[in-house]
Structure 1
Amino acid sequence: MHTQKIGYLEFRYGNNAKRRTVNVGDNIQSIAVRRLLNRLNIERANVVGIDRDSLREYEGEPVKLIMNGCFHDECFPLPPQIQPIFFGFNAETESVITKNKALFQKHQPIGCRDNATKRMFDKHRIAAFVTGCATLTLERREKPVVDGKPVIAFGAGSGVLQQNLLENIPKPILEDARLVYQREPVSAVPLNDGAVKKMDALAQTYLDLYKNEASIVVTPLLHVASPCVAMGIPVVLARRDRDDRFTAIDRLLPVYTPAEFSSIDWTAHAHEVEALKGAMANVAEKLLQGAKPVAGDLAVLSRTFEAAPVLQAPRSSKLGRRFRKIFGRR
């Protein structure tokens, strides 16, 4: 009997011949989706990896593909063998939507990774809702670590560590911290199968480090903050700007930018997201079944992601009092 294949995204970067490093956070997304499919009792033999950056050249067997993560114009049009499951979808530019309106209209409502993407669909009158990032479905660690160490995880570009952030990290955290640079050099793109496996293994190593050893994680990176929130690890998310990609996770924890670095609450605590995680998994399951998600699960997503950001950009001299009101001081 023929069984429908379920696809998750791999990242081989064949669209950028000049690339010399890869973002290991992409592989963390791949791992999260594979684990989610396992949670939904989909047999591993029926799960296949498909390269995001050569989607339109796909010539394999028919597949339902979880379309999570960031998509650029060169990912489209999709071939007929791919049935897209929009869960955690992020459009890199508005042209992704305008050039592929018929596709999105056919598959609406679109499950978006963030509010910024949802707003673009709203603008073009395509029904959409926010699911959050697939990495939020990773398993919570069983218990807090004993004698854990702080971890400072960073990357390149907008994911670099800001100098004035380092100046504001308390000395005990800074002196004991383990540094993780969540990018990795590559010799050539597109990545071959061996290189993809190597990056997956490295991503798993970082996830294990965060889960088993981190007392707190300080990071500017979405795909460090999001999986760590899911795993029940205290997170300080501090970066140079309020990037649109963070317009879902900023409903769960503060996104600090340089104006607020001196007011960061370093007594960060783990967040309880198990109900959200369960709703996300249920919605993904219904989408894979071609069914409408249950209203109760959609309500959980709506209450979470349609709320105001935990921390708004400062607008007045009342910033200090606002911080104390939001976080308190212990």
Structure 2
Amino acid sequence: MKFANIIYTKRNDRLTIGDDMQLLAIENLYKYMGINYDEVVRIPYHELSTYNGEYVILPISFPLTAYSHNDLITCFSDRIIPVFLGLCVLQDTFTQKDIEYFKKYEPIGCRDEYTLKNMRKNGIKAYLNTCMSVGFPKRIDEKDLIGRKKVICVDVNGKLKEKIPQELLPDCEFLSHTFYKNEFDGTPEELCKKMYEKYIAEARLIITDRIHAALPCAAAGLPVVFAKDRYSYRFSGIDKIMKIYTEKEFDQINWNPKPYEFENLKKQLLENAKSRILKTYEENRYMYDLSYYFENYSRPKYNIEFLNDTYNYIDSLANKEIKYILWGVTQTATLIKSYFDRNYPNARLVGIVDRDKRFEFCGCNTTSKDIILENKNAVVFVTTGAAIRESNLFFKENNIKNYFQCCVDNISNKNDGMNGDKNG
């Protein structure tokens, strides 16, 4: 079993590197845990439901605001064991499948209070974690800022830009986290790393309305002015650790702020994530390594004992509108009933034989084998090996020819009462 992280491979022509910053936050987490990132499996975002490689642990700290397939938010490949650390969703109601999936992997770490409340409203155990980009390491002390002049403004426009003091403007460099593919070389993830390193190396102040510029830069030790025209649901968590100015507060902005200090909180966030990932790894690695060993093999087409021969016998019957009886309350019986319903809906189940139990099964009440005598034209399917001898003797005594022994293979016992054939 390995560790994994998402990678964005199919991007629209217009993209934002905030998505990549969230993946770099998981890379940072792995490095904090001492995991060699070169050995981490990168799974394309659009292949989360179809991935078929080695079993992996996948930390999730990004928004699932699109459907993975059909109308489902989640339901990744069976080869992915997710650990939800900083999830963000838009929907306030979930499909039953999504609820079951979340509950299978709870507790769900949520990036914002909106997601937290929606999880709990649907009976899912959850906690408020905020974004994992809070966990980027501190890279700068206040003394490192002495002598710096540059103010980097990330996606600062409109009324916020108008409020920047005149004396700061000569030192401002205006950048954006939104790009078109033809505007840069390399991958968006490489661009994201390059821009983040630029911020850390050059800026004395970051002014931004981008959450994934504000948080990583604050975590690195840079002073940050984070301002947005309106208070977004995405801020309901990080507002506890940094001031978020809305438009009505633009006149109150402190343009010479101190760096935020949340190293203790950062350690708690990283240790919690580390603990959850390692616990999930230890709980799953041996069984899934074993499973992958046996699964990863080229095999011939299966023969499903007790079923393929039965289905072939049903298909060979001239009358497809038959009455039939199932002898035995078994999975084989259920599958035979389903096969008739799918392929020969005019066939009619008239009885279920069980020696001891009386209850409803496959839409019929179980009863004794006397029902066979009452329906001599019905075909009897014996669906349990325990009834082979009893049923053969019964058929012989009552001259019943319309039957099929579903559980007889090429190995028989002299006491089975067989005449050599599976059917009469």
- TM-score range (shorter-chain normalised) is 0.7 to 0.9
| C-alpha deviation, 1:24, in angstroms | 0.9
Alignment partners' CA distance in 1, 2:224 and 2:65: 29
Indicate the structure (1 or 2) with the bigger Cα radius of gyration.
Answer: 2
Answering whether residue 11 of structure 2 is matched by residue 10 of structure 1, we say: no
Q: How does 1:264-275 map to 2 (within 5 A)?
A: 264-275=253-264
Aligned with 1:167: secondary structure? helix
Q: 1:230 is matched with which residue: 219, 235, 246?
A: 219
Partners of 2:112 and 2:130 within 8 A in 1: yes
Secondary structure of residue in 2 paired with 1:281: helix
Report whether the alignment pairs 1:218 with 2:207: yes
Tell me the SS of whatever aligns to 2:168. Answer: helix
- Share of identical aligned residues, percent? 27
Deviation at 1:147, TM superposition (A): 2.7
Match of 1:119 in 2: 117
1:183 and 2:184 aligned: no
Matches within 5 A, 1:1-330: 4-13=1-10, 19-75=12-68, 76-95=74-93, 100-143=98-141, 144-148=144-148, 149-154=150-155, 161-186=156-181, 198-290=187-279
- Opposite residue 173 of structure 1, the aligned amino acid is L
Aligned 8 A contact 1:162 1:239 in 2: no
Could you say if the C-alpha distance between residues 8 and 98 of structure 1 is closer, same or farther in structure 2, counting changes exceeding 3 Å? Answer: same
CA distance in 2, matches of 1:54, 1:74: 12
Equivalent residues, number: 272
Give, in angstroms, the shift of residue 98 of structure 1.
5.8
Which blocks of at least 5 consecutive residues in structure 2 are unaligned? 69-73, 281-424
CA 232–96 in structure 1, closer or farther in 2 if over 3 Å, else same: farther
* Compared CA separation, residues 261 and 142, structure 1 to 2 (3 A): closer
Shift of 1:11: 2.1
SS at match of 1:69: coil
> What is the TM-score with the length of structure 2 in the denominator?
0.61
Counterpart in 1 of 2:343? Answer: none
The answer on whether the counterparts of 1:232 and 1:271 sit within 8 Å (CA) in structure 2 is yes
Letter matched to residue 180 of structure 1: L
On the 8 A contact 1:10/1:50 being kept in 2, the answer is yes
Match of 2:130, SS state, is: coil
The two structures have a TM-score, normalised by structure 1, of 0.77
Measure the CA separation in 2 of the matches of 1:30 and 1:125.
28
- Distance in 1, Cα, partners of 2:265 & 2:237: 12
Distance 1:258 1:135 in 2: 25
With over 3 angstroms needed to count, the CA separation of the structure-2 counterparts of 1:73 and 1:163, relative to structure 1, is closer
CA contact (8 A) 2:2 2:57 kept: yes
Cα offsets for 1:17-41 (capped at 9, x unmatched): xx32111111122222112101101
Per-residue displacement from partner, 1:188-245 (whole Å, max 9, x unpaired)? Answer: xxxxxx98x5212211111111111111111000100110111011111111211111
Supply the distance in 1 between the matched residues of 2:179 and 2:275 (Cα, whole angstroms): 36
Deviation readout 1:72-111 (Å, 9 max, x if unpaired): 3422321110000111111133355765000111111111
Superposed CA deviations along residues 135-159 of structure 1, whole A, max 9, x for unmatched, are: 11111114333332111001xxxxx
Gaps of 5+ in 1: 155-160, 188-193, 292-330
Q: Is the 8 A contact 2:152 2:199 kept in 1?
A: yes
Residue 290 (structure 1) shift: 2.2
Change (3 A) 1:206 1:110: same
